[in-house]
Amino acid sequence: MLATHGLTLEKALCESRVGFELNRVTAARADHWLILDGALQHKSKGFFSVTGVKFGSPDSACVMLYQPQTAITGLISARVDGERRFLLQARAEPGCIGEAQFGPTVQSTPANFMRIHGGAKPAYVDTLIEFDPNISLLDDTTQLDLGARYLFKSKRSIFAEAHSPPPPQRGFIWATRQAIYEAVRRSAFLNIDLRSILSIASWSAHEEDGELTPEADLVRRSLSAPIRPQIVGDVLSALARTNPPVMRFVPLEALENWCITEWGISERVPRQRFSVDFFEVRTPLREVDHWVQPLVNSASKGHVVLACRERHKFLEFFIRPIGEHGLATGAALAPSYLRYPGAIGEPPEWLSPHLSNVWAESEESDEGGRFYRDSSVYQVVVCGDDEAAPPDKIGCWLRLSELKLFLGMSNTCTIQLRGVISHLISVR
């Protein structure tokens, strides 16, 4: 059924949880994962690795995930009766909150679609990586991943239109725009990759177009705010001033603050504030129904805040360029405040008074296939229209039209910024 609503989405998500099991196990149970060449790797060397990395100074040694192959996240849509629908996948993941969330149509690494795991090929992946005359690309960019967790990881992000909607396979469902709007307001219902694609996709200011149209009049009006070339140039110049870091791999055994135990990899003194633990997973609706893998396990929730204000009848958002060791570009545009799961810290003083004026909020998982229930609270908060820039002047107020311009560029915005922007589709 193409026209579906929130209740049907809920049912599909419940069905994806059937038979799901997750248990922490010792490293001895992970017979496909070994310390090879100083890194924790799958014996096929086709999946991600956990490795030690140093960036210049001796005290910069840390543990990061390394996955040099570019993953694919793709959302297939179709226009039915003049309105766009979206083909979502109900995905049970070992690390996500609630065991299952909706993801885009395709969410796959090369190891998966090349079937290194020996299981089934991900559904619909051929539609996006091979010639298919039924498909038109609406958007195709390369986007940065978690720069404090992954080393130089990016994902190909595709938004496509099917001229003839394919029938949904098991675990998939066609969702209406209204179902998407309702789902965006829910915590841990749409995964961060799906939220990312929704943020990058074109938004329409006109309801009658049948496209993604934000529900709030102020948001719709702000899409057409004049773009200021000087501001755009200044932001791009700020990003260009940060070069990719110089790095080298370090064997896990050589990291003084990390130890390899029977349960995984852990810190002696909390600095990065996470461990790497092993988990056994059973889920009948995935390409492989049983496996053991490592997951990053952080000790606390993260926090993502996007400050907005209304200026000259248009919405503006305070955005900061930040540098993270794992960003291949060296720097990217981030929300007003960002704290990773496990990290410690508080929002800056200028932002703290506005945290009670929340326009939108949800709690979202980091990628469920690599992180054990690591999550962050995502908030859009409203500042006064006369709010000045923060004292440190690191960052700037961007109009929504300008922010959407940057979101459509490859390797420019952090995944947290892409995630929090998705709330603007459904705020009222």
Residues 305 and 358 reside in one and the same domain: yes
Backbone angles phi, psi at 185, to 5 degrees: -80, -10
| Percentage of the residues of the chain whose pLDDT score is greater than 70 | 95
Backbone angles phi, psi at 310, to 5 degrees: -100, 125
| Cα 397–Cα 386–Cα 395 angle in degrees, nearest 5 | 20
Q: What is the mean pLDDT of residues 163-180?
A: 94
Residues 191 and 237 reside in one and the same domain: no
Residue 44 domain-assigned? no
Distance of CA 209 to the CA centre of its chain: 28
For 86, 102, 196, 341, the CA distances from 83, given in Å and listed in that order, are 10, 21, 21, 38
How many other CB atoms are there within 10 angstroms of residue 187's CB atom? 16
Residues 76 and 176 reside in one and the same domain: yes
Instruction: Give 252-302 pLDDT, tens digit per residue.
Output: 999 999 999 999 999 999 999 999 999 999 998 887 889 999 999 998 999
Residues 164 and 238 reside in one and the same domain: no
Q: What is the mean pLDDT of residues 408-413?
A: 98
Residue 239 domain-assigned? yes
Residue 40 domain-assigned? no
pLDDT at 3 over 90: no
Instruction: Report pTM.
Output: 0.95
pLDDT at 1 over 70: no
- Residue 168 DSSP SS3: coil
Residue 281 domain-assigned? no
Residue 33 domain-assigned? no
- Domain final residue pick, 175, 206, 237: 206
Residue 341 domain-assigned? yes
Residue 402 domain-assigned? yes
- The pLDDT value given to residue 245: 82
* Burial bucket for residue 49 (CB in 10 Å: 0-12, 13-18, 19+): buried
For 187, 264, 283, 407, the CA distances from 202, given in Å and listed in that order, are 23, 43, 34, 10
Domain count, the chain: 2
Residues 15 and 164 reside in one and the same domain: yes
The first and second tokens of residue 136, run together, are: 């038109």
Check residue 371 and report its DSSP letter.
B
Q: Are 188 and 101 in contact (CB under 8 A)?
A: yes
- Residue 266 DSSP SS3: strand
Containing domain of residue 393, as a range? 229-245+300-425
pLDDT band at 2 (very low <50, low <70, confident <90, very high): very low
For 54, 149, 217, 323, 343, the CA distances from 245, given in Å and listed in that order, are 10, 15, 42, 9, 21
H or E element in which residue 236 lies: helix 229-240
Residues 125 and 240 reside in one and the same domain: no
Residues 233 and 198 reside in one and the same domain: no
Residues 182 and 328 reside in one and the same domain: no
Instruction: Give 359-384 pLDDT, tens digit per residue.
Output: 999 999 999 899 999 999 999 999 98
Residues 165 and 238 reside in one and the same domain: no
Residues 239 and 143 reside in one and the same domain: no
In 257-330, DSSP assigns E strands to: 258-260, 264-267, 274-282, 290-298, 302-311, 314-323
The first and second tokens of residue 158, run together, are: 């595709």
The first and second tokens of residue 379, run together, are: 């908030």
Q: State the Cα–Cα distance between residues 101 and 82, nearest whole angstrom.
A: 28
For residue 349, the domain's CATH number is: 3.90.79.40
Residue 355 domain-assigned? yes
**Which residues have CB under 8 Å from 343's CB, separation 6+?**
273, 300, 302
Residues 176 and 80 reside in one and the same domain: yes
Q: What is the mean pLDDT of residues 145-154?
A: 96
Residues 172 and 239 reside in one and the same domain: no
pLDDT at 347 over 90: yes
- Domain final residue pick, 206, 237, 271: 206
Q: State the Cα–Cα distance between residues 158 and 142, nearest whole angstrom.
A: 9
pLDDT at 20 over 80: yes
